[in-house]
């Protein structure tokens, strides 16, 4: 998480339940109209006129989520379970999930898959996917929220909270507040990046969580070259991470009771599952964490073990 200069009074982003609901309603109505036109107009002019409506629909639904995003206080009041603290660099807040691309890679010739990937990573399509909720954070939060409310520090420069973890916007007290949240957290999930402050928070987490096995470093969608940069920066801070050559496609680091790190796989689907939903199985990942820490299933979510 990239920290900015301390502020006595941190900027609070724009939030409005009413405006968020209005944007969501407008987007939904336009979407219904566009779908009716597309399904009934054949391939004529109306069809071509309706397709561009999907762009404002996506924008309205995205802003509806942002404006209506709950505060940490609201979320934890609704969900009193110990939180999942999510830490990352603000620079990767909009990193898009490429699970679909990996799915295509499994069935298409390399030359075709490369062309599709080039298109998928274009700025325009990346923005559309981000606004559609296809970010790494969104995908993680969808599953981690089954274990507890997912909270994070917000970027003080953003206009409104991005969809994903509930954000708290802090000033001078940011360090004491995040340590307090770590001490009561069920899990601390960190997506490291080439940011000094994120690496500092790995040490904070290991020193304050009480159980190093509850600190999880996620390198999903982070290439080996970037991992190596992170590993070298971490070494300069006396944080030992496994060598890049030992990664072998594994996307997670866990710690033992002596704070020694090891690579582990995030749960993955088989060939047929990859074709239908993508390789990385975050639902099974959350289920395995629930089993590991003794959570009890309650419908699609989990209840923490009794103290």
Domain chopping of the chain, boundaries: 17-67, 71-95+135-303
Find tokens 């970027």 and name the residue: 155
- pLDDT tens-digit readout, 203-222: 899 999 889 999 999 998 88
Q: Is the pLDDT of residue 5 over 50?
A: no
- For residue 285, the model assigns a pLDDT of 94
Average pLDDT over the chain, rounded to an integer: 84
Using CB atoms within 10 Å of the CB of residue 247, give its burial: 0 to 12 exposed, 13 to 18 middle, 19+ buried: middle
CA-closest candidate to residue 277, choices 164, 143, 162, 151: 143
- For residue 195, the model assigns a pLDDT of 82
Cα–Cα distance between 73 and 168 in angstroms, integer?
9
Ranges 20-34, 216-230, 260-274, 290-304: which has the least confidence:
260-274
* CATH class belonging to 71-95+135-303: alpha beta
Instruction: Tell me whether strands 261-264 and 252-255 are parallel, antiparallel or unpaired.
Output: antiparallel
- For residue 7, the model assigns a pLDDT of 46
Find tokens 């006396």 and name the residue: 238
- pLDDT tens-digit readout, 67-109: 999 999 999 999 999 999 999 988 888 776 655 545 555 556 6
Quick one: average pLDDT of 240-264?
94
Rounded to an integer, what is the distance from CA 83 to the centroid of its chain?
15
- For residue 191, the model assigns a pLDDT of 93
């Amino acid at each position: 998480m990239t920290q900015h200069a301390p502020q006595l009074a941190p900027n609070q982003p724009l939030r409005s339940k009413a405006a968020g609901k209005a944007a969501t309603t407008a987007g939904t109505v336009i979407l219904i109209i566009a779908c009716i036109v597309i399904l009934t107009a054949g391939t004529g002019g109306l069809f071509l006129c309706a397709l561009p409506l999907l762009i404002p629909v996506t924008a309205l639904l995205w802003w509806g989520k942002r404006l209506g995003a709950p505060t940490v206080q609201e979320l934890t009041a609704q969900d009193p379970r110990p939180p999942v603290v999510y830490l990352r660099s603000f620079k990767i807040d909009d990193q898009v999930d490429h699970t679909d691309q990996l799915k295509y890679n499994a069935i298409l010739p390399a030359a075709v898959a490369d062309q599709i990937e080039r298109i998928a990573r274009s700025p325009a399509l990346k923005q559309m996917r981000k606004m559609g909720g296809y970010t790494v954070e969104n995908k993680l939060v969808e599953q981690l929220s089954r274990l507890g409310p997912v909270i994070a520090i917000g970027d003080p420069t953003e206009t409104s909270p991005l969809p994903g973890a509930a954000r708290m916007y802090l000033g001078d007290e940011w360090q004491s507040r995040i340590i307090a949240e770590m001490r009561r957290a069920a899990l601390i999930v960190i997506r490291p990046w080439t940011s000094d402050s994120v690496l500092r928070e790995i040490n904070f987490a290991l020193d304050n969580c009480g159980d190093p096995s509850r600190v999880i470093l996620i390198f999903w969608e982070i290439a080996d070259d970037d991992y190596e940069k992170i590993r070298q920066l971490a070494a300069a801070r006396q944080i030992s991470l496994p060598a890049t050559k030992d990664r072998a496609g594994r996307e997670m680091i866990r710690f033992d009771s002596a704070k020694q790190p090891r690579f582990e796989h995030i749960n993955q689907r088989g060939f047929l599952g990859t074709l239908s939903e993508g390789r990385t199985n975050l639902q099974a990942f959350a289920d395995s964490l629930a089993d590991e820490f003794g959570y009890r299933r309650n419908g699609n979510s989990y209840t923490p073990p009794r103290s």
